[in-house]
Structure 1
Amino acid sequence: MAEDNRQFDANKKQVSLKNLYLDPNNFRLIHEPNYVEVSEQSFKDKSVQHRTSQLLVGHKNRNIQDIIDSFKANDYLPVDQIQVRPLDAREYLVVEGNRRVATLKYLQSEYEQNAIDIGKLNSDIFSKVPIVLYTDSDEMHHLTLMALKHISGNKKWGEWNQAKLLEKMHSTHGLSEKDICKRVAISKVELRRSLRALSFLQQYHDSDYGDQFKEDKFPIFREIVRNAALKDWLEWDDGQYKSQNAQNSGFLFSLISTEPLENEDDEGSVSYADAHLEPALVTRDDIRLLSQIINDEKAIEQLKLTRDINAAYRSSNQMFREHQQAAIKSISNEIDTLGQMVIQGDSLPDLESALGRLQSIINRAKASNLAGVEQKTVFHDRIDAHFSELLVSNYKRLQDLRISKLSRINLFTGINNSGKTTLLEAIYLLCRQNDFFGLLEVIRRRGKIAEDRINPEWFIEQIPPEIDISGQFDKAKSTVQIKHYKEENNQIDKSFYLESVEISSRYAENSLKSLTRIFKGRERETQADRIKILCPSVFSSPFFLNEPHRYAQFHYKSVQSKSLPKIVEFIREKVIGTVEDIRLADEMQRFLVTDRVFKETLDLTGYGEGLQRIFFISLLFASAQNGIILIDEFENAIHTELIAKFAGFIDELSKLFNTQVFLTSHSKECIDAFVKNITEINELSACALVENEDRIVAREFTGKEFRRLVEAGNVDLRRAK
């Protein structure tokens, strides 16, 4: 008789509970950490049965408490059959009903040894358990029984357990896909999805992260292999059920796993810290989001930086496209509706106005494919020289201010309102070139306003009438000019339009321009052929808006560059000797300190502001590699005794990351600290901003010049004339 139509001999009887043996290879148990597959010869071994019982019962009866409660309340009701097969003449292996048998064994033991109350459960059940005996020894029959109940039936197992049973039917017993689907009553789609997921899981097991697998990850693998975009990205081979792109699959495996953090000592030896980064992808929804941004380089870089799939999605063009497509679809539907109506003559002006606005959008889209999208790249990945000179022709109080003795570390000082912070802003704007977000950052952070709370009218009021800044960067001239005005463009919707911001920039032979229209009550629009920046730039000021998510990004870069242990070591050796580690802790973006004095980790905010400022400034450098850092009021909150030590560490970090540093200070101790602690004095410059005939001018000194002045006497750069 054909395999599919075989008949199996079965009969009902009652047997003693002691003659029933739990199945140690039950597929319900394969996800348990202590699960071990055993041979049939060992099924009756006491240690095997004890372990199987423990796995089925769970900690404090967690896995069987529902059955215990049912038995006590209702007695034993043979609603579901206990199916067994013979081991020998009078002993049987439970094929189906292992959890119920384990519950009965537990209750029998407690009843006979501890006299517990078993409620309405009749104790006769312990010697007369109703079973259905199958005499056929074919394992496929027993697998089919389990599959019918726990895959296609009403007592479904978890996806991992289901998949492993299907795999055994297919791989171990050689059943065809058609036979399995017919036996188990599932579709070929479901079967193949499970087999693909198991195959991809094997690649995960073979990876560096394979020891992290738990059965609750399996739904993620099923979601991956059902997703067409991810399969294309993985270069999935449906013949071998395997990803052919090792780099992409490795990256994906890292996202669904915890990522250990490395510590590197001064000799380059690497050790692994107890701390780690949590998985970036933990649910099916996370996988679906990933599939939508997988080909968006900007979003993937954000994902690598933050390990936050939602932040990556928000940074992608996908949200913009979805909003745009929804708007276009809505317009199309409304046009269809209008087409079915009789239009009155007095409505024609409104229709013509709408047509004009729509045509304006079409024209703008043809002229630029960057509307509403932020795109930034640097001119060079690696630079040989930073800024060697600056000219602030027009920015706020600074007019025709020239600085020509710049070096790797640059100190600016002066009395209050002498333009120190303004100078740092000018340098930052020059770095950002035709990037509108550079101007936005400077204005909103000085105003201590979050990006989503900017009043567009207030923003326009803060923009100087004209901005003109230039400099020599990496041996090439760079300029940026910014102005804002009202466009005389009849195609702009004037009911919302406020003003336009035009940014013109030039670096070497590269001329760029961007135009951003500011509206009230709707998103701004940016048009540009491309947007480029000179280099990475980070601006830190104790007077700016504090945004914790930025420091989370700085922390990740420091971890990635392996500079975080160096920062913690400096704090331990120079600031607080009991600090062992500082790590980003959770989604609240708190930093927790491991301190030998305390049993529990402490929030960094529980320490003094000086320690916090030292830590946060140090984090900036990895994010400004091959770029610049601007630090306003460097000495703010830092104790005088620490300034000299920290100055030396700033010198060390700037060399490590090839970073040019610009900092302002009111403190003579701070200025002298850099003069005395920088290792190469020719890599330092000092500049005093002083007022001269209603203009701010620069009094400049090279490091060597200023050191000679300091050594010659008690010179105070702040009071230079």
Structure 2
Amino acid sequence: MDKYISKHIDRLMLDPNNYRFIDNKDYVHVSDDQISEKRIQDRSLSFLIGKNEDNISDLVTSFKSNGILKLDPIQVKELPDNNYLVIEGNRRTAALKYLYEQYKKSNDVGKLTESDFKSVELVLISEESPIQHLITMGLHHISGKKKWSPVNQAQLIQDLKIKHKLTEEEICNSLAINKHNLRRSLRILSLIEGYKRSDYGDQFQTNMFSVFEEVIKNVKMKAWLEWNDTEMRPTNLENEEKLFSWISKDESIEEDELGNEQQITLEPIITKSHEIRELSKFINEPKAVEQMEEARSIAFGFVFSDAVGESRLRNALETIQKEVNSAFQFSEFMNQSDYTIISKLRNKLDKLLPTNSNIELTESPASIYFNSVESHFNSVNIIQYRKLHNIQISNLSRVNIFAGGNNTGKTSLLEIFFLFTRLNSFKSVIDLERFRGRFYQDFPTKWFNKIFVDSINIQAEFNDIMCSVNIIKKETNEDIDKSHYLTSIVTDANVNGDNFSSTIHLFDNKDPEFYYEKSQFLCQATFSSPYRYDGQLLKRAHAKAVQEKYFDEIMLFINENLDKNIEKIEMISIDNESRFMVSSTNNDVAIDITKYGEGLQRVFEIALLMGYSRNGVICIDELDSAIHKNLLVKFTEFIQKLAQKFNVQVFLSTHSKECIDAFVENGYPDNELMAYAITEEDGKLVAKFLEGNKLKHLVESINIDIR
């Protein structure tokens, strides 16, 4: 029979096997004969008090303000050494022990007196079995108001079932819980135990419970894991390991600017339960999962998920249908402005239809095939592009210089790499013609039909995968209105077996019609030329540089090598037009960057585009244009550093020997430098290459001019 007793606080032993401790990395099970040992009690007290007394601060405040309230006595059982093990009330006991130490140091303990510590009122539990002990705790901390963390609750339920052989019905009746919650707790705990046994097990924290819970609740995730409810474990161990890696930190080896390997820590892809729900929407799409893994971001999986895209389209169409029906019901309230809105909506809806829709030469934002790139372009086989025929260029490196005289095809080579990264984007072909000054705004369909004679056929190895782009002009067999029809141009791209295509129909009296299922880019890419200016691109590049905090690095280079008086360069909107304004100690007001020399503008543009081209490609036409030869050495070194930092492959053209010399003389490691001499032999253009060390030796020893 239970009875009330009073004992000194020092006679109360904290329970070292308290379920609050089981998820603590320092927890180990303690046998009964060790419970009263000082080291065991000190550790238990430390667990309960927490850092800076965080775990008991509420109780300390309450005891100081109110004294010990006799509403819920501490429950104990007698130990052989005249001590008493706390069964229920360990946290309160820890708070009293902490305050007793404060009292002995003459610190403030509020309303508590010495007698409160010397005579703590207790309930002595007599002849309680281990099962009764667990049930008592369960009633307080699973069913009651003072709930433990979910993982602690699940552990107690599992102990009742596994260690003490209670049936599910007995546990449910004893703890006042239902079978559904009981089974779910056991499944979650089983998955957690699997995680703890894995290579990532030391990363487990209590707040991860909700992630595991969402996995068990999610039908698609359980199916993907091939979960066995009877054995309470996944049977697809490969997928289990993938899941564990996604919710954990990982390590990777990367090279720094000097080529030295360094270990970096990758943050978990998934940290919240709702991200498991998002993952389940594309878990069975290998391409989307691969993109998520490469970018270590759920968002990238969404972008590449056909299922998510289709679902959102269906939802959008359902919403449109529902809202249109609502509009019909209240159509008597419509006025002229409403008709204008409907007309605009109709034009947009028309563009969703596969035929009879005039589509402007603009594309929706393209998806990036490779968000993470390891090896970039390794080689390219130019079967046909402008005057370049059957040219193979291999041994491509991080920085690639194309040198040669005028009209040897240097710019065409840069265009090839840029165009290839655009895959099925025919707009890029149009842009390249515009950049060459053939036209500016309006697209001259008759002229383009006349000059686009030869097809474009390019093959390349990118990121260790074979790819191809083929653009041909042919008459379409599609059922379209062929009034004033001229021709069609079809773009077909293939990346590792994935096909991407687009078609543009040209007419002599109306806008082209442009069709594609999905606009796809191979990787990020930019093109810089002294003869073209893309204000919108630079605006985006500037925003990214500021956001990702490398703009200061660009400014530092400008200060140290071009103009130390420049204080800042910022983008300012003037009359709805964004302009780069330069503040300098030499001027009272900021002035437009175009008022400065072309050298500053060129350096500023290229540096911005280097960062914007992260994990991609940048093509720089006539790098040395407007840049003084004294600056070239420093600037080429800066380009190589940025290329390494942002994992960018650089293709540049020059007909200046000083530019080639600058790369050789800048002191930057040349193991990722390649130069190609573009020459004509027997009426055919060929590209001969010299790699880093050999190039450096020849330039330094015999002053070779590879042009």
Asked if these proteins are the same fold (TM beyond 0.5), I'd say yes
Distance 1:144 1:711, change over 3 A: closer
Name the residue aligned to 2:491: 505
The 5-angstrom pairing of residues 314-463 of structure 1 reads: 314-317=303-306, 320-334=309-323, 386-389=379-382, 392-393=385-386, 404=391, 406=393, 408=395, 411-413=401-403, 424-430=414-420, 432-435=422-425
Deviation at 1:185, TM superposition (A): 1.7
The 5-angstrom pairing of residues 15-164 of structure 1 reads: 15-88=7-80, 90-112=82-104, 114-164=105-155
For residue 292 of structure 2, the aligned residue among 303, 327, 351 is 303
> What CA distance in whole angstroms lies between the structure 1 residues aligned with 2:4 and 2:656?
94
> What CA distance in whole angstroms lies between the structure 2 residues aligned with 1:256 and 1:273?
23
Distance 1:259 1:341, change over 3 A: closer
Deviation at 1:437, TM superposition (A): 7.7
Distance 1:157 1:364, change over 3 A: farther
Name the residue aligned to 2:180: 189
Deviation at 1:159, TM superposition (A): 1.6
Deviation at 1:101, TM superposition (A): 0.9
Distance 1:503 1:316, change over 3 A: farther
1:203 aligns with 2:201: no
Distance 1:49 1:339, change over 3 A: same
1:74-118 Cα deviation digits (max 9, x unpaired): 111123331112224853211111111111111122212x11122
> What CA distance in whole angstroms lies between the structure 2 residues aligned with 1:424 and 1:146?
73
Name the residue aligned to 2:568: none
TM value normalised by structure 2: 0.67
Deviation at 1:432, TM superposition (A): 3.6
Deviation at 1:643, TM superposition (A): 8.7
1:544-587 Cα deviation digits (max 9, x unpaired): 648689999xxxxxxxxxxxxxxxxxxxxxxxxxxxxxxxxxx9
Deviation at 1:461, TM superposition (A): 6.9
Name the residue aligned to 1:225: 216
Q: Say whether the 8 Å CA contact 1:428–1:537 is kept in structure 2.
A: no
1:290 aligns with 2:282: no
Q: Say whether the 8 Å CA contact 1:514–1:528 is kept in structure 2.
A: yes
Match of 1:425, as an amino acid?
E
Q: Say whether the 8 Å CA contact 2:675–2:689 is kept in structure 1.
A: yes
Deviation at 1:143, TM superposition (A): 1.1
SS of aligned partner of 2:171: helix
> What CA distance in whole angstroms lies between the structure 1 residues aligned with 2:636 and 2:118?
84
Distance 1:503 1:225, change over 3 A: farther
Distance 1:259 1:710, change over 3 A: closer
Q: Gapped runs of 5+ residues in structure 2?
A: 357-362, 461-465, 482-486, 506-512, 562-602
Match of 2:62, as an amino acid?
S
> What CA distance in whole angstroms lies between the structure 1 residues aligned with 2:468 and 2:261?
45
Distance 1:338 1:386, change over 3 A: same
Name the residue aligned to 1:455: none
TM value normalised by structure 1: 0.65
1:342-366 Cα deviation digits (max 9, x unpaired): 999x99x99999999979857669x
1:603-637 Cα deviation digits (max 9, x unpaired): 8668647999999979989x57xxx8745556789
Q: Say whether the 8 Å CA contact 1:405–1:702 is kept in structure 2.
A: no
Name the residue aligned to 1:244: 235
Q: Say whether the 8 Å CA contact 1:258–1:278 is kept in structure 2.
A: yes
Deviation at 1:277, TM superposition (A): 0.7
Distance 1:58 1:290, change over 3 A: same
> What CA distance in whole angstroms lies between the structure 1 residues aligned with 2:542 and 2:288?
16
> What CA distance in whole angstroms lies between the structure 2 residues aligned with 1:149 and 1:75?
22
For residue 502 of structure 2, the aligned residue among 500, 514, 528 is 514
Distance 1:207 1:618, change over 3 A: farther
Q: Gapped runs of 5+ residues in structure 1?
A: 1-8, 366-370, 394-399, 447-457, 491-500, 518-524, 553-586, 593-602, 690-696
Distance 1:300 1:123, change over 3 A: same
Match of 1:262, as an amino acid?
I
Q: Say whether the 8 Å CA contact 1:377–1:532 is kept in structure 2.
A: yes
> Taking every aligned residue pair, what percent have the same amino acid on both sides?
32
SS of aligned partner of 2:64: helix
> What CA distance in whole angstroms lies between the structure 1 residues aligned with 2:201 and 2:284?
26
Distance 1:355 1:54, change over 3 A: closer
> What CA distance in whole angstroms lies between the structure 2 residues aligned with 1:209 and 1:615?
39
Q: Say whether the 8 Å CA contact 1:430–1:480 is kept in structure 2.
A: no
- Indicate the larger mover: 300-309 or 319-328: 319-328
SS of aligned partner of 1:240: coil
The 5-angstrom pairing of residues 448-597 of structure 1 reads: 468=452, 470-471=456-457, 473=459, 479-480=470-471, 504-505=490-491, 513-515=501-503, 527-528=515-516, 538-539=525-526, 541=528, 545=538, 589=548
Distance 1:142 1:272, change over 3 A: farther
For residue 652 of structure 2, the aligned residue among 663, 686, 699 is 663
1:218-271 Cα deviation digits (max 9, x unpaired): 221111111111111111111211112222222211111111123699xx9xx9
Name the residue aligned to 1:454: none
Q: Say whether the 8 Å CA contact 2:388–2:685 is kept in structure 1.
A: no
Deviation at 1:303, TM superposition (A): 1.2
Deviation at 1:27, TM superposition (A): 0.8
Q: Say whether the 8 Å CA contact 1:76–1:122 is kept in structure 2.
A: no
Distance 1:150 1:529, change over 3 A: same
SS of aligned partner of 1:198: helix
Deviation at 1:12, TM superposition (A): 2.7
> What CA distance in whole angstroms lies between the structure 1 residues aligned with 2:179 and 2:130?
22
Match of 1:39, as an amino acid?
S
1:257 aligns with 2:248: yes
Deviation at 1:660, TM superposition (A): 9.7
SS of aligned partner of 1:64: helix
> What CA distance in whole angstroms lies between the structure 2 residues aligned with 1:404 and 1:330?
53
Deviation at 1:645, TM superposition (A): 8.8
SS of aligned partner of 2:124: strand
Distance 1:405 1:27, change over 3 A: closer
Name the residue aligned to 2:570: none
Match of 1:668, as an amino acid?
K
> What CA distance in whole angstroms lies between the structure 1 residues aligned with 2:263 and 2:642?
27
Name the residue aligned to 1:11: 3
> What CA distance in whole angstroms lies between the structure 1 residues aligned with 2:15 and 2:150?
20
Name the residue aligned to 1:584: none
Name the residue aligned to 1:279: 268
Match of 2:252, as an amino acid?
L
Give aligned pairs, total: 598
1:169 aligns with 2:160: yes
Distance 1:23 1:243, change over 3 A: same
Deviation at 1:153, TM superposition (A): 1.3
For residue 214 of structure 1, the aligned residue among 196, 201, 205 is 205
Name the residue aligned to 2:359: none
Deviation at 1:192, TM superposition (A): 1.8
